Amino acid sequence: MAVLKILKYPDPTLKQLSLSVERITEETVRLIQDMVETMYAAPGVGLAAPQVGALRRIIVVDVDYENPGRNLIKLINPEIRRAEGEVIWEEGCLSVVDFTAEVKRAERVEVVGLNEKEQEVNVAAEGLLAVALQHEIDHLDGKLFIDRISRLKRDLYTRRLKKMLRTGKPQPESPRLMI
């Protein structure tokens, strides 16, 4: 297993649509193992294949950070079958440096996908798990959480990121961005 490089916004790969996995191969299983190791090393609670440069519909999620691996979810070709309710959640992303924002999501979701043995997996989720699943599935569709916030907040973040990249110094997050 290996820790992979996580792509950072504005890398164009993050905006691309991921392809369905037609066959689960040893390479697919190895990618999933590497994604799990990368997610834990980051550390994060979720990771999608496009974040490590693989445009395939694969996600890994583990919101139980006190017991890593106990509730690990690995999904190939995940789909949201049902979504209900509404929740506002403060989100961050391993691919979006030094920024969080409140994002509106479904409060409960039912997600269906395949595991590495090509068996169907159904996940009924609420709270952080529901948010994390929606966040990672967005990555598969070329969306980042910053695409779900106001244009003003997104533009402020983009300007701050450009300045940070130009100067090489992290810029303090403006309190206005935490709304």
Helix and strand numbers (H, E) in the chain are 3, 7
91 part of the active site = no
Q: Provide φ and ψ at 84, rounded to 5°.
A: -150, 160
| Percent helix, strand and coil across the chain, each to the nearest 5 | 35, 30, 35
Label residue 134 left, alpha or beta by phi (over 0 means left) and psi (-120 to 50 means alpha).
alpha
* Catalytic hit among 107, 110, 136, 173: 136
Provide the sign of the torsion angle of the four alpha carbons 93, 170, 9, 173, taken in this order: positive
Q: Please identify every residue annotated as catalytic.
A: 136
